[in-house]
């Protein structure tokens, strides 16, 4: 298989873009609606100069360099005055 190289072309059609989006569904940035690469791809539909060539790489298909499957970080600090469900049950029966 060839080495991945810098992206030099846009998506050739809608199907290729949908395959890219399908790959991104498990990415934490995509799930948080915080993916600047995907947002730039949407902007490139109207202005070709917005396409994020520097954030993508290709080897027949286009993929994101910033793709990550790390689990989302959830903050577990309670709000002031918040009670736990388990603390409010007395005796548990």
Which of 51, 59, 63 is CA-nearest to residue 23? 63
Sorted by where each begins, the domain ranges of the chain are: 11-65
Determine the pLDDT at residue 51: 93
| Cβ proximity of 64 and 24 under 8 Å | yes
Determine the pLDDT at residue 82: 66
- 29-22-73 Cα angle (round to 5): 25
Give me the tens of pLDDT residue by residue for the chain, a chain 93 residues long: 568 889 999 998 888 889 888 888 778 777 766 788 888 988 998 999 999 999 999 988 888 888 777 776 666 666 677 666 666 555 555
Q: How far apart are CA 46 and CA 41, in angstroms?
A: 9
């Amino acid at each position: 298989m060839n080495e991945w190289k810098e992206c030099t072309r846009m998506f050739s059609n809608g199907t290729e873009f949908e395959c890219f989006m399908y790959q991104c569904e498990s990415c934490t940035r995509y799930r948080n609606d915080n993916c600047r690469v995907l947002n730039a791809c949407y902007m490139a539909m109207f202005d070709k100069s917005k396409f994020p060539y520097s954030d993508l790489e290709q080897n027949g298909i286009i993929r994101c360099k910033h793709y990550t499957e790390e689990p989302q970080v959830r903050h577990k600090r309670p709000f002031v005055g918040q009670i736990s469900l388990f603390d409010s049950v007395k005796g548990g029966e």
